[in-house]
Structure 1
Amino acid sequence: MKPSLSLIPLGGIGNVTKNMYVYAFENQYLLVDCGMGFPDPTMLGVDLLIPDVSYLLDKKEAIVGLILTHAHDDHIAGLPYILPQLGTNFPIYGSKLTIGFAADRLHEFGIPARFQELPDGPLTLGPFTINPIRVTHSVPDARHLAITTPAGIIYHGTDFKFDLNPVDGVLPDLQKMAAIGSQGVLALLSDCLNAESNDFSQSESTLKEMFLREMRGVKGKCVVTIMSSNIHRISQAVEAALAYNRKVAFVGRSIEQNVATATKLGFLKLPQPHLINKRDIKNVHPKHLCVLIAGSQGQIGSSLSRAAEGEHQLVTITPDDKVIFASEAIPGNEQNVYSTIDTLSKTGADVTYSDIDASVHVSGHSSSIEQKLLINLIKPRHLIPIGGTYHHMIQYRKNARSMGYRDDHIHLLDNGQILKFDQDRAWVDATLDLKNVMVDGLGVGDVGHIVLRDRARMKTDGIVVIIVPVEQQSGQVRGDIEVISRGFVYMKESQDIVTAIKTEATACLKHRGVVTDWQNIRKKIENSVQKKLYDLTERQPLILPVVMEV
C-alpha cells in the first residue's frame, strides 16, 4: 500500500478562530498556523481559547516546521501557550510582518523561537515542499501555501480576498496560482467565511473616503476603533485625520505595539510631527484630536470598553465626540460588540458602525465570486472549506456543486477529523477527541466544564460558605457554625435561612465518631444544604463547606 497523506485540523473548522492544521506524511508533521479564539459568554473568567495539541505531544521530535500564513491573532496568538507544550526545536516560518507580530507575542512571555522569513520560492521541510503565494487580506503581507507532498499538491488557501487596488500596491499573485493549478492539485483548503455574499469584495483602499466623510464637521474628538493588525486601515484613518488638522494618538497595548512593529519593518509610514503620546491627549483640544483605540471586538477590559464605561484614565467619551467602528464583529463576538456600542451610545456620542452604515467596514474575506475564481485557478480534485462557521461551509458546498463538483469531493470536516488522501481519493479515517482548551490568567487547560458551571452558578445565584468547627476525635460540631453569603441573600434579613443552613450542616455530622474521610463529609454537607436551599428559595448558590478540625 502506498503511503497516504493526512490532514488533521486542530482548529479553524466550523469556526473562525483557533486556526491550526497538521499535515502528516510517514510520521513527519508540518504545522500551519497557531491561533487563539475568543470565549463565548458562558465561559466566565476565561481569557481565550487555544487549539488542543495533545495529538502532537508524543510527536514533538517529528515536527519539521510551523508555517504562519498571516499576522492575525486567530492564526498566531496561540504561540505563547502552544510552544511550551511542543518545544522550540522546529523552525517557524512566516512573512516579514507576520514574523514581526508573532515575535512580539512571544517576547511578552520570554519564550524563544526559531523564526525565519519565508522565501519567495520553494522551501523544503522533510517530505513537504512549501511554495508561498502572495495574497491580499485585511492585514498586509499575507500568504497562501502550495504544499507539495509525495501524495500530491495541497493548496492551503486560508483568509484572503482578491483586492485589485490594494493600499500598498501589492497585488495577489494570480499568475502563480494559475501556474500551480496547471500542475494538478489534489485538494484546495479555502476560506469560506463570505460564501453567502455574491458581490465582489470591496477594496481596502475605498475606506479613506469613508473616514473623510465621517470625520467631517465633528465638534469633539474622533475616536476610531480598528482591529489592531489592520495596518492599511490605520494608515487611511491617520491620513483622514491629518486632512482635518487633527493630531493622532494611539491608545491600547495591541494597537500601540502593532503600529510600532509595522513602522519599524517599513509597512507603515506615519507623519511623526502629527502624532502625540497618549498621555498628551488632555493637552489637545478635542476638535483637533483623533484617537485610534484598541477594543473593536468589545473585549472586556480593553481600552475602548473602559473608555465607554468612563473608567479610562486618558480617554473620556463626550456627547460632542464621534466613535467609528471601522470593523465588524468576529462571529461569536456579537454580544460583546453590541454591548460596547450600547454603552458608548449612552454617553451621547455619535456612534457609527456597519449595521447603520455598511461603508465603514470592508471585509478582508473573499466572496463567493472570489472563492469560485480561486477554484478555477487552482482546479483541485477535492475541496475543503475552512475558516467559517458551519452554515458558511454549507453555502460553499452549494457554490461548488454549481461548478460541477460532486459531494464526495467536497469535504465538510469537524476539528479533529483526520482526512486521508492518496492519489485517487480522500476519506475520513479517524476522529480525535479534542478538548476546549481554555486560558484563564496564567493557567492553560486547567479550566473545564465543572469550573465554568461553578462560575455560572456564582454569577446567577451567589455563593454560600459554611465554616464548621469539628472535634477530630468525636466528629461532632464544637463551637458556632459560621455562614457567609455573597450574592445569595442579605443575611441580616434572612436569619431563618441561615438557621436552616446550620441545622443541615449539624445533622450531617451526628453520630459520626472518629472521622477519617473529611472529603465525604464536605460533599454530604454540600448536597444536603443545596437541597434545603432549593426547597426554601428555588435558587442554587455554590456551596463551599469548610470543615475545621479542632
Structure 2
Amino acid sequence: MPTTVYTPAPLRPGTLRVTPLGGLGEVGRNMTVYEQDGKLLVVDCGVLFPEETQPGVDLILPDFSPIKDRLDDIVGIVLTHGHEDHIGAVPYLLRLRRDIPLIGSTLTLALVEAKLKEHRITPYSLTVAAGQVEQLGPFECEFVAVNHSIPDALAVAITTSAGRALHTGDFKMDQLPLDGRITDLRAFARIGEKGVDLFLPDSTNADVPGFTPLERDIGPVIESVMAKAKRRVIVASFSSHVHRVQQVLDAAAANGRKVVLMGRSMVRNMGIAADLGYLKVPEGVLLDLKRAGDVPEDKIVYMSTGSQGEPMAVLARMANLDHQITPGPGDTVILASSLIPGNENAVYRVINGLMKLGANVVHKGNARVHVSGHAAAGELLYCYNILKPKNVLPVHGEVRHLVANAALAEQSGVPNAIVAENGTVVDVRDGEATVVGQLDLGYVYVDGSSVGEITDADLKDRRILAEEGFISIFVAIDAQTGRVIVGPEIQARGFAEDEKVFDGVLPAVRKALEDAAANGTRDTYVFQQAIRRTVGRWVNVTHRRRPMIVPVVIEA
C-alpha cells in the first residue's frame, strides 16, 4: 500500500518525539532524530551505497529536510560506531551547521574526524566511553558497550522527563570477542530495571534463527586458506573492519607472509586503528605497495577494499584488469565479508571476473571466512527478556528484517511493536508509543560534487540511456512557412550501428512535420512533439525498444 503522508500535531510538553530519517526499509542511511522541549538530538548520520539502478550516484544521504530549518535546535549528534552507514553523512550535515557537537567513542570520532578533514571541516567533538553519562540539553545520555564488527561501538540510553529510550546501534553478543569487549548485558539489565519506554534494536539479522557465530572462528579458517595458497593472497573486506584485518595480519605472520594494505580508506582507517592501539600489527608484517615487487609471490598478501563489488574499489578494478595487481592462476582471493542486500549482482560479477582470470575465490558461500556483526533472533530475544521494554521500534534493516524483529518482540511479550518507515513520527508519553505522523522523505543523491541536485527522474533518464539507447533528430524549418529546410537528420547511440535502419521512418517524420505546418503550426515545441510521437511509435512497434528521443528543431 502507498504511504499516507500526514503532518504530526505540534509536540506536546512532556512528550518525547522520535523520527527515523533513514535506516528503515534499507541497510544504510541510519539516522534518528529525538525531540523534546524544543531541542533535537541526532543518533547516527550515515550513507547508503547506490544500487545498479542508480547509475552515476556516489552516495545516498538521509533526507535532512525536516531539520534543515531547526539546525540551531540540535544539541548534538551521537555516533554509535564508525561504519559508513552510521557516520558517512556527517560531513554533509555539518556543511549546514559546522558547530554541531559530535559525541562518540575514541575510534568512532577518530574515523569521522579523518573524513571531515577531507571536507575541510574541524568538528566540535566530545569523546565518551562505556558507562559515561552526559547531559545534552534535555537528553541524559548513558553510553553502553556493545560488541560489533568494529571496536568501540556504543549503545545509548536516552532519558528525558518524558521517558527512556534505548538505541542499540549495530550490535551482537559474541561471548568470546577478539578484543575482549562484550555487549554489557549487566548495564542492559540495570537500564531495564529503571524502565525502557522505547527500545530501538538493530534488525539486520532478526530473521536469522539462533545466534551469530563467534568472530574468533574466522581466524583459523583464513590462516588455513592462506597456508594452502600457491601464489599471492588477496583479501577483500570493509575498510573499517579492524577485527578482520587483525586476523589477516595474524594469519600472514603465521605463514611468513607480508601484508600490503590497498585502497585509500583501508590505509587511512587501519593507520588510525593502529595509532590508537585497536589494531596490533605484528612486527615486520606490513609492507608498502611500492616494495611489494621485491617479495616472492607466495609470500605476499594484499588486503583491499571492494568486498561489495563497488566498481571503483580495488578488487573490482583487479577483476577488470584496471589495476597494477592482476590476479591469475594460483592466486587466492578471499572475500571476508557478508553481502549487503542489493549488492549481490555486483559481487557475483566480480567473483566471476576473478575466476575467469584463473584465481581461486573463497567467500562466505564456500568457507567460513566471515561472520555477521549483527545479533540473530536468539540474541534479540535475550535483549527483550532482559529489558522488558514497553514499546519497540525496530531499526536498521529492510522491511523483512523490521517485521521479523517486531514479531520477536511480540513473542517475548512486548505490548507494542511498531513497524515503521523512514519519516514515521512516533511520540512517547506516559509509557505509550504512538504513531502521530508520516513525513514525505526522499533520497538525497551525491553525484560528484553535487548534493541533492539529481532527482529520480534524472536517474530514470540515465537508465534509459544505458539500457535503451539515444536517438536525436535534427530539423531546420522556415520560420514563416513552417516548411522543412534541412533534415530530418537522425543520429543514434546505443541503438543501432547502421543508421540506414531509420530510412523507413524518415518519410513518416517528414509527413508529420508537413501536417503540423499545414495546420498553421510555427511553434518549434509543437514540431518537436510531432517528431517525438512519430519516432517513438515507430521504434516501439518495429524494434520493441523505448530509447531516449531528443528532437532538435531550429528556425531559419
TM-score (norm: length of structure 2): 0.93
Query: By how many angstroms is 1:204 displaced?
Result: 1.8
Aligned residues: 544
Which of 331, 335, 346 is the equivalent residue of 1:336?
A: 346
Partner of 1:30: 41
- Written as runs of structure 1 = structure 2, the 5 A alignment for 1:122-521 is 122-271=133-282, 273-312=284-323, 314-357=324-367, 359-406=368-415, 409-472=416-479, 474-497=481-504, 499-500=506-507, 503=510, 506-507=513-514, 510-511=517-518, 515=522, 518-521=524-527
Q: 1:48 aligns with which of 59, 63, 72?
A: 59
Describe the SS at the equivalent of 1:273.
coil
Instruction: Call closer, same or farther: CA 1:308–1:368 in 2, change over 3 Å.
Output: same
Which ranges of structure 2 fall in alignment gaps of 5 or more residues?
A: 1-11
Q: CA deviation at 1:526?
A: 2.5
Letter of the 2:532 counterpart: E
1: distance between equivalents of 2:53 and 2:357? 28
Greater Cα shift, 143-152 or 74-83 = 74-83
Structure 1 residues 307 and 64 mapped into 2: Cα distance closer, same or farther (>3 Å)? same
1:67 paired residue number = 78
Q: Is the 8 A contact 2:509 2:531 kept in 1?
A: no
The Cα shift of 1:507 comes to 3.8
What is the deviation of 1:504? 6.1
3-state DSSP of counterpart to 1:185: coil
Deviations 1:85-106 (A, max 9, x none): x322321111111111112222
Instruction: Specify the alignment match of 1:118 in structure 2.
Output: 128
Contact 1:462 1:485 in 2 (8 A): yes
2:16 pairs, out of 5, 26, 29, with 5
| Cα distance, 1:528–1:288 mapped onto 2, change above 3 Å | same
2:537 corresponds to: 531
TM-score normalized by the length of structure 1:
0.94
Q: Are the equivalent residues in 2 in contact too, given 1:508–1:521 (CA < 8 A)?
A: no
Separation (CA, whole Å) in 2 of partners of 1:504 and 1:27: 66
1:546 alignment partner AA: V
Per-residue deviation, residues 171-192 of structure 1 (Å, max 9, x unmatched): 3322222222221111111112
Among 101, 106, 109, the alignment partner of 2:119 is 109
Structure 1 residues 332-389: Cα deviation after superposition (integer angstroms, max 9, x where no partner): 21121122112112112111111122x2111111112211222233221111211122
- Tell me the CA shift for residue 37 of structure 1: 0.7
| C-alpha distance after superposition, 1:143-185 (max 9, x if no partner) | 0000011111100012101122221222332222222222111
Pair 1:528–1:234, CA change in 2 (3 A): same
Inter-CA distance 94–472: structure 2 relative to 1 (3 Å threshold) = farther
Q: Tell me how far 1:272 sits from its aligned partner.
A: 5.4
User: Offset of 1:131 from its aligned partner?
Assistant: 0.8
RMSD between aligned residues: 2.1
Task: For residue 391 of structure 2, give the secondary structure of its aligned residue in structure 1.
Answer: strand
CA change 1:23–1:511 in 2 (3 A) is: same
Query: C-alpha separation between the residues in 1 aligned to 2:526 and 2:77?
Result: 48
SS at the partner of 2:312?
coil
Against the structure 1 CA distance between its residues 297 and 473, is the aligned structure 2 distance closer, same or farther, given a 3 Å change threshold?
Answer: same
Q: Aligned letter for 2:550?
A: L
Give, as a single letter, the amino acid of the residue that structure 1 aligns with 2:380. Q
Deviation of 1:34 (Å): 0.6
- Once the two structures are overlaid, the 10-residue window that deviates more, 330-339 or 410-419, is 330-339
Residues 243-252 or 258-267, more deviating: 258-267
Kept in 2: contact 1:475–1:512 (CA 8 A): no
Residue 289 of structure 1 deviates from its aligned partner by: 0.7
Q: CA deviation at 1:518?
A: 4.2
8 Å Cα contact 1:504/1:528 also seen in 2: no
Shift of 1:474: 4.9
Could you list the runs of 5+ residues in structure 1 that have no partner in the other structure? none
